[in-house]
Copies of this chain bind each other. A is one copy, B any other.
């Protein structure tokens, strides 16, 4: 008999005998029959298994616990009057692995805090069960978007010898105990990467359009709901592209991802809408249907000044770093939709961003979206050797470790641009889940390393 999966439209097999394998979510007994809600991992929704006293091992089956692995043989029966289109009437239920009395998930609702302590079991809890499939679907959306457009996927390194990127605190990678880097594994100080951007630029100057998608790390001691020490980033980089081209790609990518997950994870998104955030589907559909506006940082500061009283941080001035409340005000109140802020003061942005003609700003863009604020950050890169060298000197950076990066500017360099999307934050944005610890399989945060 063919082993089937719940996803495979079993209602089309009305009256046929099939075998299902999966895990028990609930086992309810009434006097003359029992109901098992079976989930086999193939789809968000499970299937109802009905069993009867006439069955062999009826007494054993009645005792099957939540979490147990079973194999069900039975007949598909249509159930037009109930929520699910079909159920299975079991002729045989084999217990493959009984969950014992310490099984940590019970029918009651558990707190996220409790579930974070058991990452080996929580994927079976509804929110995580929906999230980790959404995560997989979104990853495929990213790859499909870029590969369909001819982008080359580049595995930039996790271990780097570049001390000088300056994008945050780094983890050291070592096999020694004495910090004698010359004698260490790589014969120099090695760290975990904070960004693949510098390493991917040479590939953009070869293949034109490229992207990274891999883990990155921050050793920052910030215990917030939005920071993790290990997270996945997507960093596309396009040669012959200026800031405007860059924003076009970002807009297309975000819209593509939204439509892709609505198409490929509809049950999961409905679950998030029902249980986590009533507005999540409306919000992303609105974004997918909107033209993303563009506004300069300077214009944004003018808007914020007019409304300064509304903010906790009321001291609005040109040159400041915007806080989340300011970003959200711009996209939620002023623009009422997604907006790119562009041309930020050079002093608050990274050394590699291209300086504008005004000498004060750089060709940067941050995409702000309602509800979360900043979702993507990008820029046109400084392609002028002399300007980049001077900038690095002005910032007190050592040139030698990044001489190779400078050299790209004299080895057939050209206009190029790119951006970074935090994959985990995108999942938070799509689902409405508020804590980054709940979108990652094994979140790593300060003083927290489970398994």
Contacts and interface: CB of A to CB of B under 8 A. Distances in A.
Interface of A: 3, 5, 7, 21-24, 40-42, 67-69, 71, 96-100, 102-104, 118-121, 123-124, 129, 132-133, 135-136, 139-140, 143, 147, 150-162, 169, 171-175, 177, 179, 185-188, 190, 192, 198-199, 202-203, 205-209, 214-215, 217, 219, 221, 229-230, 232, 239-240, 383, 404-405, 407-415, 440-442, 444, 446-451
Given A202-B119, A446-B185, A139 B124 contact: no
Contacts of A118: 404
Contacts of A447: 185-187
Contact of A69 (B42, B159, B190, B414): B414
A312 to B, nearest CB: 30
A405 B161 contact: no
A197 to B, nearest CB: 13
Given A123-B206, A150-B5, A451 B162 contact: yes
A192 B172 CA distance: 11
A188 to B, nearest CB: 6
Contacts of A410: 97, 99-100, 102-103
Contact of A156 (B171, B173, B409, B441): B441
A161 B450 contact: yes
A415 B41 CA distance: 15
A174 B174 contact: yes
A69, A190, A407 — most chain B CB neighbours (10 Å): A69
A160 B49 CA distance: 39
Contact of A203 (B132, B240, B407): B132
Nearest to A446: B185
A24 B412 contact: yes
A186 B153 contact: no
B199 A441 contact: yes
A136 to B, nearest CB: 4
Given A123-B206, A152-B136, A414-B69, A169 B161 contact: no
How many copies of the chain does the oligomer comprise? 2
B174 A441 contact: no
B441 A157 contact: yes
Shortest beta-carbon contacts, A-B, top 8: A41-B208, A41-B207, A186-B449, A69-B414, A136-B153, A123-B206, A120-B202, A187-B447
Contacts of A414: 21, 69, 96-97
15 contacts: A5-B150, A23-B206, A67-B412, A96-B414, A97-B410, A97-B413, A99-B412, A120-B405, A123-B202, A132-B203, A132-B207, A155-B441, A175-B219, A186-B444, A203-B441
A118 B411 CA distance: 12
A161 B67 contact: no
Nearest to A206: B123
A161 B232 CA distance: 19
A444 B221 CA distance: 28
Contact of A412 (B68, B135, B156): B68
A442 B199 contact: yes
B147 A140 contact: yes
A327 to B, nearest CB: 27
Given A120-B404, A159-B217, 18 more contacts: A23-B205, A23-B412, A40-B208, A69-B239, A71-B240, A96-B414, A97-B413, A100-B410, A100-B411, A124-B206, A136-B153, A139-B143, A140-B153, A157-B444, A158-B230, A161-B449, A169-B175, A177-B179
